Amino acid sequence: MKGSILMDAVDRQLIQALRENGRASYAELGRLVGLSGPSVTDRINRLEQAGVITGYRATVAPTALGLGVTALVGLQLSDAADHEDVAMRLRDLDEIEDCWFIAGEDSYMLKVRVPDVDGLERTIRRLSGTTGVARTRTTIVLSTKWENRVGALPDE
């Protein structure tokens, strides 16, 4: 977050509504929270400028893009590895959809999407050959029950 911002219940309602439907108009959002379109615009602009809202995106079915295999890949780094350097190298692999720096035996957990198992094998080889990576541990996703779940925001 760029800076600290005080959010009220209306801000939280707006954020929740945008998480559920990022294409909602300011007029629709205004009706939902009981404000005018311009007031909603001002609030959303403030939330964007503060770094609370970081962007908008379309959610796409991976299989429609030819990405039929999803895997979670844990990376254990060598003792001498520079974590930030490894993260920068990982950014160059288009197959990595998400990258988390985690606590535990592995240092990074990656969500990888590839067309098929051969593509996964190539990706794992590339990951294994990345400077600083000592070992990989891969789990293939058999089916997805849900992703990008929109949960309720915690109350203050």
Which structural domains are found in the chain, ordered by start? Answer: 9-49 (1.10.10.10), 67-140 (3.30.70.920)
Helix (H, G, I), strand (E, B) or coil at 64: helix
Q: Is 80 exceeded by the pLDDT of residue 151?
A: no
pLDDT at 156: 62
Here the tokens at position 2 are 């760029």
Distances (CA, A) of 130 to 78, 89, 90, 92, 111: 11, 7, 8, 11, 17
Measured from the Cβ of residue 93, the count of other Cβ atoms closer than 10 Å reads 14
Which residue from 69, 63, 72 is spatially nearest to 117, judged by alpha carbons?
69
Which is more confidently placed, 35 or 1?
Answer: 35
- E strand residue ranges, the chain: 69-77, 96-101, 108-114, 133-140
Q: What integer is the mean pLDDT of 101-125?
A: 97
Which residue from 11, 30, 15, 110 is spatially nearest to 70, judged by alpha carbons?
110
Mean pLDDT of the chain: 93
Q: Is 60 exceeded by the pLDDT of residue 24?
A: yes
- Using 50, 70 and 90 to split pLDDT, how confident is the model at 154? confident
Q: Is 50 exceeded by the pLDDT of residue 95?
A: yes
Q: Which of 77-86, 109-118, 143-152 has the lowest mean pLDDT?
A: 143-152
Here the tokens at position 76 are 């254990």
pLDDT at 1: 43
pTM for the whole thing? 0.82
pLDDT at 40: 97
DSSP state of 50: T
Amino acid at 29: L
pLDDT at 79: 94
Residue 101, beta-bridge partner list: 108
